[in-house]
Amino acid sequence: MNVMRDTLLREIRRRETEYQNRPGPDKWRLRFHIMPPAGWLNDPNGLCFYRGKYHFFFQYSPFDPEGGLKVWGEYTGTDLVHWQYEGTPLLPDSPWDCHGVYSGCAFTEDGLLDIFYTGNVKLDGDYDYVNSGREANTIYTCSEDGIHFREKECLLEMKDYPTGYTNHIRDPKVWKAGDTCYMVLGGRKKDNRGAVLLYASKDKKHWEFVREVTTREPFGYMWECPDAFCLDGQWLLSVSPQGLKREEFCRQNIYQSGYFILPEKWMEEGEPKEFREWDMGFDFYAPQTFRDEKGRRILVGWAGLPDIKEEYNNPTVEQGWQHAFTIPRELKWKNGKVYQYPVKEAEMLREKELFSSSRQDRDPEKTQGILVEDSCFDWEIKETDSRSFIIKIEEECVLKYEDGVFSLSFEGAMGAGRKVRKALVPKLYSIRILADTSLMEIYLNEGEYVFTSRYYTESDVRQLSVRGLQNAGNIWTMKKQTCLTGL
């Protein structure tokens, strides 16, 4: 019997029950985005399709909506829309992860649901916890049902990593090519350069260091959450770099997430090129991808960021929770870049069509008001054919396109400190806004550019307006019931 595990489970259940039984309504509780049962949610982990179900694990701090001791929570589902909460299968209950179950991945190609993750250990003493005082252990466990896991094994410790690195090495992602398994880990070098460590194994247990993957010129001091995959014949490396210089039209958040284009023989030689951000909004970080049973490459991101309190915040902390996942997005390689768009299953969320573009005959120079008698909607505008337009949500959220620049800005309290995010968009031909109660995802040009942001309004309806567009598109209200059960 693991006493620590039993105690943690009991306290987590108590905390979750306490949150679910709290008095009063929670107007910002999300209806169709994955959110924590209580407390804090961040990185998506272990995303996979296994034995007829999708398994979405997540880094989870149930005791504090502003973070703390990390465990893994889990949701399962069969359609990428409706989710069943399964509890907390991975806890910090061993000497290798006693200060947190950090990020990792799932691997299912050998019949089991294998999990690889970073176990965090912080030593007591006068340490900087960058070059000393921290242990980052690569840990393995597995399951036959995706819910109950076997004993943990420590595969790599600090002594096993190459020299020249700080103690910040984490977030394994594993895949198989031929008869060899490969793993990437994110790292911070002692000269404050971000990099990825590539390993190889024949049995998933014994790993040999292959090479370091990084840019010729320094590109941030730390690369978190690496994910290497082949999309429509093109190899890509997704990372979340920290320490990049902010600019007006890119890298506007405190930390970024994006992908590099990799050369064909990148596992042997060459360096990543042409970093592109996944998302230009206020709230996106640490994404992970997986390949599902239909052969689709699907991405899910953390609709949040660490270390934002100096700039903006999330009032849901007052309700006892913070953060969420994005809608699962299908990735496609087109025109030399990745396009990302909500999976087709997301259309199951639609309930009632308010109006259709086929029934519109309007003057684009006049402002058209649209009342959505709900807090959630799905708005598609195709064939914009306009060099400038303005869309407003509750007046305080402004989507503007002018002179090849698209911007998302907030005025007043609705953004909770969020101001403006911009992107250079030479041509804009379609828009889709997928809005939950307090989280919106904006897709331009069928996912060529994406903006994810939290937003907070007191109203339970949405007043929309549009000016500058001949075609105001199609709007659907969303189903009333929450897509999360088992909480």
The catalytic residues are: 43
Using left for φ > 0, alpha for ψ between -120 and 50, and beta otherwise, residue 417 falls in: left
Distance in angstroms (rounded) separating the CA atoms of residues 437 and 460: 8
Structure tokens at 377: 């909607």
Give Cβ neighbours of residue 184 (< 8 Å, ≥ 6 apart): 172, 173, 196, 197, 198, 199, 213, 226, 227, 228, 237
Q: From residue 438, how far is each of 27, 40, 380 by CA, in Å?
A: 9, 16, 19
The edge-to-edge listing of strands for the beta sheet with 297-302 is 285-291, 297-302, 329-334, 337-342
Nearest to 304 by CA among 67, 51, 64: 67
Distance in angstroms (rounded) separating the CA atoms of residues 174 and 229: 10
Bridge partners of residue 434, in order along the sequence: 378, 441
Q: Which helix (H) or strand (E) holds 12?
A: helix 3-20
Bridge partners of residue 41, in order along the sequence: 60
DSSP character for 358?
A: G
Distance in angstroms (rounded) separating the CA atoms of residues 232 and 183: 21
3-state secondary structure of 435: strand
Kindly write down the DSSP assignment for every residue of 310-321, as one continuous string. TT---GGGGGTE
Listed as own residue / partner, the contacts of 141-146 with beta carbons closer than 8 Å and 24 or more positions apart are 141/90, 141/114, 141/115, 142/112, 142/113, 142/114, 142/115, 143/89, 143/112, 143/113, 143/115, 144/112, 144/113, 145/51, 145/113, 146/50, 146/51, 146/53, 146/55, 146/74, 146/76, 146/113
Contact between residue 66 and residue 42 where contact means Cβ atoms under 8 Å apart: no
Q: Parallel, antiparallel, or unpaired: how do β-strands 388-393 and 462-467 relate?
A: antiparallel
Contact between residue 415 and residue 314 where contact means Cβ atoms under 8 Å apart: no
The upper half-sphere exposure of residue 113, i.e. CA atoms within 13 Å in the direction of its Cβ, equals: 23
Structure tokens at 106: 């799932």
Distance in angstroms (rounded) separating the CA atoms of residues 228 and 224: 12
Nearest to 213 by CA among 271, 276, 274, 275: 271
Residue 243 burial (10 A CB sphere; 0-12, 13-18, 19+): middle
